[in-house]
Amino acid sequence: MDPNRRSVILAGLLVSGLGACTKDAARTSPSTPAPTPSGSTSTAGSATTATPGGTARPPATSSEQPTITQVATGLSAPWSIAFHGTTALVSERDTGRVLALSAVPPAVDATPGTPVAPRQIGTVAGVVHAGEGGLLGLAVRQDALYAYFTAADDNRIVRYSLTGTGPSLRLSNPTVILAGIRKAFTHNGGRIAFGPDGMLYATVGDAGARASAQDRGALNGKILRMTPDGEVPDDNPFPGSLVYSFGHRNPQGLAWAPDGTLFASEFGQNTWDELNIIRPGANYGWPTVEGIAHRSGLVDPVQQWTPDQASPSGIAITGDSGSDDTDRGAAIWIANLKGNRLRRVPVRDPGRSSEMLVGEFGRLRDVVVAPDGHLWVLTNNTDGRGGPRPGDDRILRIDPAHPPSG
């Protein structure tokens, strides 16, 4: 369907013709150019996908589009969404605010046909915004909210108690569970999520100190795994260390398939952005390589894209991996910033992909699965790198029951 003709349902109001307008920070060339994977192309602006074996194939596209509902508008540089029951909690990077809104449609506190007005439930104390730093990822476990944020001297993770219910929900009793992560103007990572094993995982960028990604004694350039209290689990791959995987540049997405496989999205430098399957103790190559390199001892991504079509941030997984239908089974959904699109990757065949919302809503920072199974997508046009339109930033609700074919 022609996107100029497709109406976007905005909680009863119709909005059309949202154009794309975005810019992204310049990426400097690495000292050693990343190799071009076998069978792929490095033509500027192209996307290259690959199966785990390295066979390249073009990405699929589709004109089939789901119904989209606008949930909330007027957010300021939002970064992450996490659900506490049927309440969505949203972080604002620059203000340090945590906002809440109901995930039950239609929202009972909204005038029919009007997006929900989020309410502030607290501010994370000590947030210092600069560049890409500030209040970043959120995660919820029982009645506790975990937040990854940039402080005066470092990046850290703090745990808050969630007290009260409904309009009385508030943050209280902050406890720092991990501090001392190097911070920088860029590459702070920042995504946190609880895995099916009950452990807290965190993506940490290299903070511009590229060598730290290969230093297992450093926290930067890693995916970390810890207990809910910030301790080292006994079964981590390196005894006494929070490091779960290393050799990362700036990972920002974490999600688990129904069979427990961990996927992560990662920003490359100039050549390839990545989707990786994360294995404990594995080395993902940065800064030695970027993208698929076929180097002994390094794990290649299962798919890669040029930055202009990607800049992948938050990811989510929907569906049943037991389905034999690749297009209707479990799928990885990837929110892309510079690429201005939502990408779908089949879990059973992660070398394929299809796209939607291309250029329609600008930069996309996060995508999560709501309690009712719908996707919530967070735009990110007010973070200083986008071109905000009236109503930005916003949360979009998407029915994934009819995903693009490909």
End-to-end distance of the chain based on CA atoms, in angstroms? 15
**Residue 166: its pLDDT value, please?**
87
The average pLDDT across 336-340 equals 98
- The count of other CB atoms within 10 Å of the CB of residue 170 is 15
pLDDT attached to residue 87: 96
Which residue has better confidence, 237 or 69?
Answer: 237
In tens, the pLDDT along 4-16 reads: 333 333 333 223 3
- Per-residue pLDDT at 67: 77
Q: Which helix (H) or strand (E) holds 333?
A: strand 331-336
Give residue limits of the domains in the chain.
8-398
Q: Which two tokens mark 14? A: 């119709």
Q: What is the pLDDT at residue 54? A: 30
56 Cβ contact list (under 8 Å, min separation 6): 37, 38, 39, 40, 41, 48, 49, 50
Pairwise pLDDT comparison (105 vs 76), residue with the higher score: 76
**pLDDT value of residue 323:** 63
What letters, b where the CB count within 10 A reaches 16 and e where it falls short, cover 234-243?
eebbeeebbb
User: CB-side exposure of 120: number of CA atoms within 13 Å?
Assistant: 10
Which pLDDT tens digit goes with each residue over 195-217? 999 999 999 999 999 999 999 99
- For the chain, give the mean pLDDT: 84
The pLDDT of 170-190, averaged and rounded, is 98
pLDDT tens for 300-318 read 999 999 999 999 999 999 9
Residue 327 has a pLDDT of: 66
Average pLDDT over residues 284-299: 98
Please say if the pLDDT value at position 378 is more than 50.
Answer: yes
pLDDT of residue 44: 28
Over residues 28-86, the pLDDT tens digits come to 333 333 333 322 322 223 344 443 333 233 344 444 455 788 999 999 999 999 999 99
CA neighbor of 112 nearest in space, from 8, 12, 15: 12
Assess whether pLDDT exceeds 90 at residue 264. Answer: yes
With a pLDDT cut of 70, the percent of the chain lying above it is 78
Q: Is the pLDDT of residue 148 over 60?
A: yes
Q: What's the mean pLDDT in 372-384?
A: 96
The beta-strand segments (E) located in 59-199 are 68-72, 78-84, 87-92, 97-102, 119-123, 135-141, 144-150, 155-163, 170-181, 192-194
- Overall average pLDDT of the 235-244 stretch: 98
Mean pLDDT of 230-255: 98
Superfamily of domain 8-398: TolB, C-terminal domain (2.120.10.30)
Per-residue exposure over 7-33, b if at least 16 CB sit within 10 Å of its own CB, e if not: ebebbeeeeeebebebeeeeeeebeee
